[in-house]
Structure 1
Amino acid sequence: MTTILITGGARSGKSKRAETRTRAFPGQPVYIATAEALDGEMEERIARHRARRGSDWIEREVPLDLVPALLATDGGGARLVDCLTLWLSNLMHAERDWEHEVNALAGALPRLKSPAVLVTNEVGLGIVPDNALARSFRDAAGIMNQIIADVADEVEFVVAGLPMKLK
């Protein structure tokens, strides 16, 4: 089993890099989407991602229950989770215990048979947010990224479409 974490800023090329890494494994790739199309802009983003990927992916829409989705799709092709940051946002919005969920994910990843490529955003490189909710989310994302990076076999940071191997 291989776990790859790909991080970077907004529009850095993370998803495209993750798609390439996922396709490099044998078998039909599985795309686990954590985004929900709650408005027109998000519908457009999702459509662009689908068009770029093509139709050969198995798709699962999983805004909250990520660990069960990874377990249910284990044993086949590599899974691409795009993205952990939206998953975290969904968990916080649903008032679920995000720390418990992140730790459950970290515990499950090393036990998976099929590779998992996980995309996340690096949100801690900018200015300190001006409100408590944004600061709480930024801090939670940083903690989540550290926990998942610790159990990942590989970690890449993507800047301007260029990957840098961190681990």
Structure 2
Amino acid sequence: MKMIIGGAYQGKLAYAKKQNPYIHWTDGELCEGDNIFAAEGVFHFEKYIQSMIKKENWSEKEAIDFASKLTKKCPDIVIVTQEIGYGLVPIDAFERRYRELTGRICTVLAANSDQVDRVVCGIGVTIKGGDTK
């Protein structure tokens, strides 16, 4: 598994496509339910989580179980996700819960990823794994 993370509008998807030119990409905002388990690469992963929290009303345990299932069933998937945990804490209860669960899920995925890259201004820096040559 590979993860590519970074803030909004930082060039994550362009970077991901350059690094992984031969995979089919799925938009997490449009992905429905278990279809994510058939994806080679997912961008807007945070939007997938948001929709699943809304549709399925995931608890923290269900969110962690999902992350564990994804790591086991999709060891070669590439996930592109926006870092949403920085900045002000939202007033809205759903937004706080969404941010919390997204962070928990991404923490599990990053721990189980072979490589994690952070993209800022279109420049990717490997923060875990990768080629050390």
Cross-structure match for 1:104: 69
Cross-structure match for 1:92: 53
Cross-structure match for 1:51: none
Structure-1 separation of matches of 2:24 and 2:48: 17
Contact 1:19 1:80 (8 Å CA) reproduced: no
Cross-structure match for 1:127: 88
Cross-structure match for 1:166: 127
Cross-structure match for 1:65: 34
CA-CA distance at 1:158 after TM superposition:
0.8
Q: Deviations over 1:42-95 (max 9, x none)?
A: xxxxxxxxxxxxxxxxxxxx332145314xxxxxxxx22113211101111112
Q: Deviations over 1:119-155 (max 9, x none)?
A: 0111111111112111111111111110100111000
Moved over 4 A (4+): none
Q: What TM-score does the superposition give when structure 2 sets the normalisation length?
A: 0.83
C-alpha RMSD of the superposition: 1.7
Q: Which residue among 108, 113, 132 is the counterpart of 1:147? A: 108
Structure-2 separation of matches of 1:102 and 1:96: 15
> How many equivalent residue pairs?
124
Q: What TM-score does the superposition give when structure 1 sets the normalisation length?
A: 0.67
Structure-1 separation of matches of 2:127 and 2:35: 25
Where do residues 34-45 of structure 1 align in structure 2 (5 Å cutoff)?
34-36=28-30
Q: Kindly indicate whether residue 1 of structure 2 is the aligned counterpart of residue 7 of structure 1.
A: no
Contact 1:34 1:84 (8 Å CA) reproduced: yes
Structure-2 separation of matches of 1:118 and 1:161: 16
Q: Gaps (5+ residues) in structure 2?
A: 129-133
Contact 1:21 1:117 (8 Å CA) reproduced: no
CA-CA distance at 1:96 after TM superposition:
4.8
The AA in structure 2 aligned to 1:142 is G
Greater Cα shift, 4-13 or 115-124: 115-124
CA-CA distance at 1:33 after TM superposition:
2.0
Contact 2:5 2:119 (8 Å CA) reproduced: yes
Cross-structure match for 1:30: 24
Where do residues 68-83 of structure 1 align in structure 2 (5 Å cutoff)?
68-70=37-39, 79-83=40-44
SS in 2 for 1:123: coil
